[in-house]
Chain A
Amino acid sequence: MKNTSDSISALILCLLGIGIWWLSGSFPSLEEGYPGPSLFPRLIAIGLLLGGAWIGVKSLREAKEIRLEFKEKPSLLKLGGGVILVAAYPILQPLIGFMLTLGLVCLGVALLLGIKPWIAIVSALGTVAFIFVTFEMLLGVSL
């Protein structure tokens, strides 16, 4: 499993390196042809390619199955749900306000974590109240 994750990491790093190299091709050069804004991104791209290749080769050389132990079954759905909930905050906040949006996001995350609904509601309300008092009332930050 570890080697599979290393192989995937290696592939992503190489693709990222190629992408950075390609994107930085459009950056202008300094006068007299010296490299300008593209110099550092390109050096980083080379580093990513080399790093990716190193990790890839290493993972192939040590190709043995290593089982990843999870205490319980991992859940991509819960992970995705958590990301979507928090990413939805900037969209919902202008529509329904900070308090309601934050409360809903915290409630959603608590439910995804498997917390009992009534405890999740109390926890979400507590979080919103704490943040409101700390930021809006004590620090004067408009949320």
Chain B
Amino acid sequence: MSVLLSWEGILALLLGGFYGAVFGAIPGLTATLAVALFIPVAFFLDPIIALPAIIAISSVAIYAGDVGSAVARIPGTPASAAYLSELHRVARKKGPFYGLGISAMGSAVGGIIGTVLLIFSATTIASLARQFSSFEYFWIAVLGLAAGIFASGGAPIKAFVSLLLGLLLSTVGIDPTLGHPRFHFGSPDLLGGLNYIVAMIGLFGFSEVLEHLFNNKEEKYEAPQKVEGAAGQFYFQPLLLIVREKWLVIRSSILGVFVGFLPGAGADIGAWVSTSFQQMRKKGEEEEGEDDRIILAGTSSNNSAVASAWIPALSLGLPGDTVTAIVLGVFLMKGITPGPLLFEQQPDLLWSLYLTFLLANLVLLPFYGFLTARMAAFLIKVPFKLLLSFITGLCIVGAFAINNSVFDVWIMVGMGVMAFLLRRGGFPLAQVVLGMVLGPIMEQNFMVSAIKSKWDLMSFFERPLALGLMVATILIIFLGMRYRKGFQSAKS
């Protein structure tokens, strides 16, 4: 904890927040991309510095995505797209500072609610996880995969295929049962398997460059509004609105926590679900202030999802979203095993993370929120093409620096090409990462359980906890199929 409060820790938070604010505000750059490009730097930092910086980046970037929506109707991140029209309308009618103030304050409150629930539920789930055997871990992985299919927000069949591709990539290298090498094609570099951090740099970073090379995208945005206003519009009026709409904020934050907890969902889906839910509650004619409420619902939900995605990551070692998938990779590279033992062995690290979430939401979001609102007109005019050449450089060096291996650059290129093709075909990318992370957990625990029980498959349902997890998996599939259509129609 003292490391976090040292000057290095505070500097990491401030720089992380600034980097997240700039990345989120520039259209086309997502929070995941910001974190993916930060990994090579994080790899060489103390985890007590690197992990809080990642929290600061993701928390601020998700909010900053709203800057483009407010001033020029361009969502900076996919989460901002959920309430794009409403935010732009409010910014036009009542001023961008008011619109962005609702967004920043809603994000801050949602983030704090998410953090409080993270602190309590991560500890509870971790104590429950102490009773887990290989059977329960197998079912946890299956539950994560099932949730990942329906959490994509797109066609479940495509999410299913993306998951399978991720699972397939996780089988490269030595298998966990007999130590037999699989799919290495004679290359010693592949025997150790694919490093999914390298894969993620290709999936999210290099594929973005390829997309722009192919599409010759030359975005021409409408001239942004001149952003002028007072701090009162940014801080006080939105806070009054939050007090007035406290139940909506609490409800949306809790919804965000639930969505963020589901592996593969994250802040983007959190924002979509909450705004869809709020839109469905609308009755008849347009009510005064409905746009404000929709923004509040989306923005409080997306930041609470940012925090709750860490619940399964810390307590079970399962990623709640792509950012926590990267975090798990950082944990493993640093020799830290997430799960119940983390709570016994590294309480300092955990409390640093909790404190960072609180600081990010209480201090960084209001501070950088106001700063990015002031810089909005400049930020959204940053030529994106110029950044792509820089992103290419970071992708190459990032992939190389993790293992000091030029072979990893080829892996990164291969992943980038695969991601480009998947994006073209409408297949989600987060599910590929989920498959890569959950694949080894599922396979190893299945094989251990099967061998332990001499291939008596009924033993997978005999322990009460395992049975409970299986029922939860079936429930997730049922609810996913039941509510998917309603959610998609609200989204469209």
Are B214 and A115 in contact, with the CB atoms below 8 A?
Answer: no
Contact of B209 among A48, A82, A120 (CB under 8 A): A82
* B406 within 8 A of partner (CB): yes
Residues of B near A93 (CB, < 8 A) are 406
A120 to B389, CA, bound (A): 8
Q: Does residue B375 face the partner (Cβ distance < 8 Å to A)?
A: no
Nearest chain-B residue to A110 (Cβ)? B389
Residue of A nearest to B407 (CB): A90
Pair B157/A54 contact, Cβ less than 8 Å: yes
Interface mask (B393-432 → A, CB under 8 Å = 1, otherwise 0): 1111100110010110110010011001000111100000
B385: chain A residues within 8 A (beta carbon): 110, 113-115
Chain A interface secondary structure, helix, strand, loop or mixed? helix
Number of interface residues of A (CB under 8 A): 70
Complex contact B393–A40 (CB within 8 A): no
Could you say which residues of chain B place their CB within 8 Å of the CB of A105?
Answer: 392-393, 396
| Interface-side segment among B52-60, B175-183, B237-245 | B175-183
Q: A48-B164, A102-B393, A106-B392 are in contact. Are A55 and B158 (CB under 8 A)?
A: yes
- In the complex, are the beta carbons of A109 and B218 less than 8 A apart? no
Q: Are A135 and B401 in contact, with the CB atoms below 8 A? A: yes
Whether A82 lies near B404 (C-beta < 8 A) is: no
Given contacts A90-B407, A106-B393, A115-B386, contact A72 B183 (CB under 8 A): no
* A113 partner residues in chain B, CB cutoff 8 A: 212-213, 385, 388-389
Contact with A along B203-223 (1 / 0, CB 8 A): 000100110111111110000
Interface contact B425-A78, CB-CB below 8 Å: no
Q: Give the chain B neighbours of A76 by CB distance below 8 A.
A: 214
Q: How many Å lie between the Cα of A75 and that of B451 in the bound state?
A: 52
A36 B161 Cβ-Cβ under 8 A: no
Does B217 contact A123, Cβ atoms closer than 8 Å?
no
Residue of A nearest to B163 (CB): A47
**A86-108 with Cβ < 8 A to chain B:** 86-87, 89-90, 93-94, 102, 105-107
Q: Mark B132-166, 1 if CB is under 8 A from A, else 0.
A: 00000000000000000000000001101100110
C-alpha spacing A78/B392, complex, angstroms = 14
Q: A23-B183, A90-B409 are in contact. Are A82 and B213 (CB under 8 A)?
A: yes
Which residues on the A side are within 8 Å of B157 (C-beta)? 51, 54-55, 58
B392–A83 CB distance below 8 A: no
Is residue B120 within 8 Å, beta carbon to beta carbon, of the partner chain? no
A137 on interface, CB distance cutoff 8 Å? no
CA distance A70 to B450 in the complex (A): 51
Residues of A within 8 A of B218 (CB): 71-72, 114
Task: Please state if B160 and A83 are interface contacts (CB–CB under 8 Å).
Answer: no
Q: Are the CB atoms of B41 and A134 closer together than 8 Å?
A: yes
A58 to B426, CA, bound (A): 14
Which residues of B have CB within 8 Å of A120? 389
Q: Which residues of B (118-132) have their CB < 8 Å from a CB of A? A: none
Would you call B180 and A44 a contact (CB within 8 A)?
A: no
Query: CB distance A30 to B161 under 8 Å?
Result: no
Are the CB atoms of A74 and B396 closer together than 8 Å? Answer: no
State whether B401 touches A37 (Cβ < 8 A). no
Q: A126's contact among B390, B396, B416, by CB below 8 Å, is which?
A: B390
Check A102/B397 contact, CB under 8 A, given A41-B182, A113-B385.
yes
Judge if B111 is at the interface, Cβ distance under 8 Å: no
Cβ contact within 8 Å between A71 and B217: yes
- A60 close to chain B: CB less than 8 A: no
Specify the chain B residue showing the minimal Cβ separation from A5. Answer: B425
**Does A20 contact B168, Cβ atoms closer than 8 Å?**
yes
Q: List which A103-143 residues lie within 8 A (CB) of chain B.
A: 105-107, 109-110, 112-115, 119-120, 123-124, 126-128, 130-131, 134-135, 139-143
Contacts of A89 in B (CB 8 A): 396, 406, 409
Given A39-B447, A83-B210, A123-B390; 11 other pairs, CB 8 A cutoff: A9-B425, A20-B168, A40-B171, A51-B157, A55-B161, A74-B214, A79-B213, A93-B406, A110-B389, A135-B40, A135-B397
Which residues in A have some Cβ–Cβ distance to B below 8 Å?
A: 2, 5-6, 8-9, 13, 20, 23-24, 27-28, 30, 34, 36-37, 39-41, 44, 47-48, 51-52, 54-55, 58, 70-76, 78-79, 81-83, 86-87, 89-90, 93-94, 102, 105-107, 109-110, 112-115, 119-120, 123-124, 126-128, 130-131, 134-135, 139-143
List 5 A-B residue pairs with CB atoms under 8 Å apart, sorted by A's residue number: A20-B168, A30-B178, A75-B216, A86-B413, A110-B389
